[in-house]
Amino acid sequence: MKIRTQILAATSGAAVMLGGVAQAEDYKAVILQSLTGGAAFIGKNVADGATLAAEQLNEEGFFGEGNKLVFSVEDDATDRTQTLSLITRLAADPDVLMIMGPTSGSVALAGANVANEREFPVMTTTNSMEVLENGPWSFIMTQPASVTMPFIADYTSETLGVETCAVIGVKDNEAYVALQRMYEDLITEAGVDIVSNDGVALADSDFSALATKVASANQDCVFVGTPAAQGANIILQLKQAGLDPSTAILGHNAFASPTFIEKGGAAVEGVYLIGAWVPGGGDDAFSQEFATSFEEKMGFPADEWNAMGYSGMQVVAHAIRDAAEADNATREGVRDALGAQEDVPVVVGTHSYSFDEERVPYFGMKVLQVTDGEFAVAPE
Amino acid sequence: MLAQQILNGLVSGSVYALFSLGFTLIFGVQKLLNFAHGATFMAGAFIAYYCTINGLPFFMAIGFSMLATGLIAILIDLIAFRTLRKRGNAEFPALVSSIGVDLILVSIAQQVSNTQVLNFPFGTFPIQFYNILGLRISLLQIVILVVVAVLVAALIFYLKKTTFGRQVRAVATNERAAALLGVNAQSVYLQTFFIAGALAGLAGVLIGLLFNSIQFLMGEPYMLRAFVVVVIGGLGSVQGAIVASLLLGVAQSLTVAYLPSGLTDAIIFGLLFLVLLVRPNGLFGDINAVAGGTRQ
């Protein structure tokens, strides 16, 4: 079992060291993500974005003069046993107000289950609605497939007007499978014929047989529902196998990462995708500031999951502050404040994050296209 | 498409052969399952990648990577296996020990790569395609087939026709008798680990280059396939490992091409059980066959 813990303190507490000032409050939360294991490609990036957000919020005195968010980063290791053990331990610490995590899959579901038993708020990274069904203490941070996939499905059937499509997806991650199934259902309803449907494992890199198969078939589009680097690799191998250049290639929001263009190079030119995050921040000042500060800190550009982590921490911070301002900085107070969040400024989607009355998050999406080696809003 | 898929399968299978040969060689000589072999394979790709992006010419990076993974494999033997071997009955403890080494190497690679998928810079190897008899084949695929064929032939020659090879077979057959005849078994172990590590490292580089992807978990699927290869080929059989690797590569391509790809692993392992039912000792089965010798 590997646990990496970082305890980071705020720097804005000088005033509270002086006598005669109201006592400073520490609000304790834990970022519990998959830093190792199969979901580390999501969890590590979410944790990096969330950590930056928490540091910045403390620096700017977001929680009030002298108050700060005291947070630690823990590793769920994409492992249910470790996750359950950690949540149980954290739930026993009355100072911990909530957890941002766990990351995805059965780990998040198991975490949601124990969190509801312990009446301990968790905001999992997954978009699985089953997390919400577990009880009122578990939230999801990312938009479910029913919210995101209509953006790219409508673009496929209506804007591009394709009639046949090959689908390639990840078979061993439930979040990716859910996105792919939703896409398939939506385009099928719109009259698009799915001519082939193939699954790959997250650790796979040899797609030569699959690429030959798809390139040898006739279809108007290929939908690739995988993480960015793997998707770029699949598209590269599809092109090398002789895929008709006129075939439209589409993907979901995982492609909205600088990694996608870096790994795919010229092969991914023209690919359509949906993105909550426009690399570089697009035309939104808050997003641009995040992109700059993230790259300065980490040494590489932010991707979709980094931006989600950053945005998720904004929502968590607003909930904690609202609960504190209502003089109810308890787990119950934070849970209620979290579910009531509306129009929180974030760096993803339409830059405004809200939960509806069913605790389903909404922050919108954009259809993007790789144009001249950069992401641009796709033509309508 | 059938011929193209068979060609794809042969290229993949030839790299499986490089990977599996080292695995089966160690098993043949020591009767140990080295679970850290996948991590050695991954380390080969990582080392060549970092050498390349730091300016070392690619072919020198390959050589350096093979040398380094050979040394890593020796270290694995010294740290994880040697002490256990001295105690006797080392099979199970060594298996656990090698899993531990694997986890350490994978964790290091994850930290070094920051969990990112890496790839060799574009242009590291010329991207050229040829159409031969209706088949689309890249220069890299041709080079891989030739390199693997040469290395496999060299390894077989080394094991069959040289003093070292005779020593390997002697130790594999009966370590005590070999020692009485003056063979230094420890030296044989170190050399076999070095060869196995260097071959795994080269396989890692070739896979990283061929499929444009280097990541810390890249060894895991290859370890699973190596098990299939050594069991189908016959435990410890070098020739069996080569034939089984090529068969596995082709079977994998054809199942992806003609059957739902989600079933690929199920079908491959189904074939494994089928082979075991018909030939329990594998295709080149001699239950005592070890790197060309017969264990006493």
pLDDT in tens, A116-170: 999 999 999 998 889 999 999 999 999 988 888 999 999 999 999 999 999 999 9
Q: Is A203 on the interface with B (CB under 8 A)?
A: yes
Q: How far apart are CA B272 and CA B232, in angstroms?
A: 6
Taking the CA of residue A238 and the nearest CA in chain B, the distance in Å comes to 11
Which residues of chain B lie closer than 8 angstroms to A103, CB-CB?
Answer: none
Nearest to B256 among A213, A216, A236 (CB): A213
Does an H or E element contain B85, and which? helix B82-87
pLDDT tens digit at each of 380 positions of chain A: 344 444 444 434 443 343 444 578 999 999 999 998 878 888 999 999 999 999 999 999 999 989 999 999 999 998 889 999 999 999 999 999 999 999 987 799 999 999 999 999 999 999 888 999 999 999 999 998 888 899 999 999 999 999 999 999 998 777 788 889 999 999 999 999 999 999 888 878 888 889 999 999 989 999 999 989 899 999 999 998 889 999 999 999 889 887 889 889 899 999 999 988 888 888 899 999 999 999 999 998 898 899 999 999 999 999 999 999 999 999 999 999 999 999 999 999 999 999 999 999 999 988 999 999 988 889 88
Q: Which two tokens stand for residue A231?
A: 């998707």
Name residue, tokens 């312990």: A118
Q: Do A197 and B115 touch (CB under 8 A)?
A: no
SS3 A175: helix
Whether B108 has its CB under 8 Å from any CB of chain A: the answer is no
CB nearest A209 (choices: B9, B116, B119): B9
Nearest to B218 among A197, A205, A213 (CB): A205
Q: From the CA of A250, how many Å to the nearest CA of chain B?
A: 20
Smallest CA–CA distance from A215 into chain B, residue = B1
Chain A interface includes B247 (CB < 8 A): no
pLDDT in the model for residue B279: 85
The distance of Cα A343 from the centroid of its chain, to the nearest Å, equals 18
Residues in chain A within 8 Å Cβ distance of B211: 205-208, 233, 237
Q: Does B260 touch chain A (CB under 8 A)?
A: yes
Query: What's the CA gap between B62 and A362, in Å, rounded?
Result: 49
Q: What is the pLDDT of residue B221?
A: 85
Token pair listed for A235: 């598209």
ipTM above 0.90, yes or no: no
Bridge partners (DSSP) listed for residue A8: A71
pLDDT tens-digit readout, B204-250: 999 998 888 898 989 988 888 888 888 888 877 888 889 999 999 99
Contact A209 B122 (CB under 8 A): no
Instruction: Give the whole-angstrom CA distance, residue A105 versus residue A110.
Output: 9
A138-140 and A164-170 strand pairing: unpaired
CATH of A145-275+366-377, picked from 1.10.1060.10, 1.20.990.10, 3.40.50.1220, 3.40.50.2300, is: 3.40.50.2300
Distance from CA of B221 to the nearest CA of A (A): 7
The CATH topology of domain B2-294 is ABC transporter involved in vitamin B12 uptake, BtuC (1.10.3470)
Q: Do residue B256 and residue A198 have CB atoms under 8 angstroms apart?
A: yes
H-type alpha helices, chain A? 40-59, 80-91, 105-118, 129-133, 145-154, 174-189, 208-216, 228-240, 258-264, 285-298, 304-325, 331-339
Domains A15-143+285-348 and A145-275+366-377 share a fold: yes
Closest CA to B76 of B31, B34, B33: B34
Q: How far apart are CA A42 and CA A21, in angstroms?
A: 42
The two beta strands, B293-294 and B289-290, are antiparallel
Query: Which residue, B209, B199, B208, B198, is CA-closest to B140?
Result: B209
User: Strand A248-251 vs strand A221-225: parallel, antiparallel, or unpaired?
Assistant: parallel
Per-residue pLDDT of chain B (296 residues; tens, 9 = 90+): 788 999 999 999 998 998 998 888 888 887 788 899 999 999 999 999 999 999 999 999 999 999 999 999 999 999 888 888 777 777 788 889 999 999 999 999 998 988 788 889 888 888 888 888 888 888 999 999 999 999 989 988 888 888 888 888 888 888 788 888 888 888 888 999 999 999 999 999 999 988 888 989 899 888 888 888 888 888 778 888 899 999 999 998 898 888 876 777 888 888 888 888 888 888 876 544 544 444 44
What is the SS3 assignment for B186?
Answer: helix
CATH topology classification for A15-143+285-348:
Rossmann fold (3.40.50)
What confidence tens digit (pLDDT) does each residue in B133-163 have? 888 888 999 999 999 999 989 988 888 888 8
Provide the residue ranges of all domains of chain A, joining segments of one domain with +. Answer: 15-143+285-348, 145-275+366-377
Q: What is the phi/psi pair of residue A65, to 5°?
A: -55, 125
Given CB atoms, is B130 within the 8 Å cutoff of chain A?
no
DSSP element (H, E) containing B218: none
Are the Cβ atoms of B221 and A201 closer than 8 angstroms?
Answer: yes
CB pairs below 8 Å between A and B: how many? 99
Tell whether A38 is within 8 A of chain B (Cβ).
Answer: yes
Q: Nearest CA of chain B to the CA of A257: how many Å?
A: 12
Q: Check if A30 contacts B (Cβ < 8 Å).
A: no
Nearest-CA residue of chain B relative to A41?
Answer: B115
A239 in contact with B, Cβ within 8 Å? no
Structural tokens at position A75: 């590793």
The pLDDT, as a whole number, for residue B172 is 81
Are A236 and B9 a contacting pair at CB < 8 A? no
Angle between the N-to-C axes of helices B2-30 and B37-53, in degrees from 0 to 180, rounded to the nearest 10: 110
Terminal-residue alpha carbon distance, chain A: 49
What rounded mean pLDDT belongs to chain B?
87
B7/chain A closest Cα distance in angstroms: 9
Inter-chain CB proximity B256 and A44 less than 8 Å: no
Q: DSSP code of B143?
A: H
